[in-house]
Chain A
Amino acid sequence: MDYLGLFNYWVFIVLMMCGFYMLLSARNLVKKVIGLNLFQTSVFVFYISTGKVDGGAVPIATDGVDVYSNPLPHVLILTAIVVGVASTALGLALILRIKDEYGSIEEDEVDLQDALS
């Protein structure tokens, strides 16, 4: 089988796993959010790449073109990107508040303070 022929999947899987690993293992909250962002973005990449049709043109009606790429995934992902930005922003805002309250953005220290209180 031609594994490399599906290279867009490889990209998305590698990105996804990088993000997932980051958000699971990073102890710094900002790094966690970045990991989360990467994780989401990988799925966006996947969506966008599925919209590509071999030999398809940009999906704007033009004379003499029969095959268009599928625009729908792109539209969907526009929405998803908005959602992603919102959750990243919210996560960062929360981190600010946590920093105010705990004086730290290291998960271990925050947990320690919670355990002590």
Chain B
Amino acid sequence: MRQKLRNAELRLGLLVVLITTSGYLLVQLADKPKLPSDLWLFLGVVIALYGAAHFAVRRLAPNANPVLLPLAAFLNGIGFVVISRLDRDLARNQAAWTAAGVAAFIITLALVRRIRTLERYRYTFLFIGIIAVLLPLVPKLGKEINGARLWVGIGPLNFQPGEAAKVLLVIFFAAYLVDKRELLASGTRKFGRLILPDPKHLGPLLLVWGISILIMVRQKDLGSALLFFTVFSTMLYIATDRVSYLVIGGVLFIGGATIAYQLFDHVQTRVSTWIDPWPVADGKGFQIVQSMFAFGTGGLSGTGLGLGNPQQIPNAATDFVFSAVGEELGLIGAVAVLSAILLLVGSSFNIAIKTPRPFSKLFAGGLATILGVQSFIIIAGTTRVIPLTGITLPFVSYGGSSLVANFVILALLMRISDDTARAAAEQPSRTAHALPQ
């Protein structure tokens, strides 16, 4: 059984290697009719990276879900091809970060042998997580890049501690909610069909709301603020099965968004360019208009890799990577990326559903929500479904901290699914035989 799972993972991985390498080749062929000199090196690196991750899973989590790693590798590969087409320097960095991400993936699998070890250090994780959120605000250490103060620079290296914080805080939320869910689920006030929890149990929700507001106001990072708050509200809902938390969360969100709209110019700009970017197409609306041109140029099947002009979109490698995919691979390619994300998030939720342990369930649910909400925020932003809030598209966008954090999330999800499958297998086989039919 476990052999079968891992062989499927290997087979899918070979396809990913083929896709990534031929994508890389196509970008070069669009430029000149010669095989790129580094094609074999590239192929070797892709095989080495996937092979390292795959054989680590064989050793460390042999019963884990077989599609998560190939899907992440696919998204990562497509992202890399598009980035290599936009900017060679960025591509070199991204390759290094991917290697760092795979290393983080293997280290996570090796260190976290049992998911419940994490449950025990909940307050340590909360502490480190809050420090990580606040770190960019420390004078001298924190840096402001592109108007958002969410970077920490040590020497030549810049990173976003908020990416690590989101994983750490989800561990804490999950452990906390498992303990308190009975209290939180018991309602005391009724308004019609809505049962409201006792106000004193609203503390954690308000705390997270406060943290989100702080991120938004002090670091001007709308995307992360939205992500934190949505993920926590969703986990609260998963833990308690009370719709009232979604309603309260929604009200708090609308309140926070209204305040942000009143206070900040850049929020007002985002909303006005969302409603109608055309009057300011050369100014503030330039980015979103270019994004729409990209999708329009791409049409059904795209211009072909290396044949469009996605470099005209500002931040095409990070926030707008999906638009670049839409231009060069068209609707068909964009839908493929979307499907891969859907399969990744869906499989992650399936891991949450399958595991019998409440902590693992909430933790996996939280991690799946991170991936899903983050993808939604940025894809919907670039396609003008919602106002734009900058955040990375998991595994696809350029960005070191984000890539490493996503690989850690991947490792944790695979650890949970391995735990579940192992627990089921450890059950003495006599029970399986004793079952009717």
A and B are partners in one complex rather than unrelated chains? no
> Which B residues form the contact surface with A (CB < 8 A)?
none
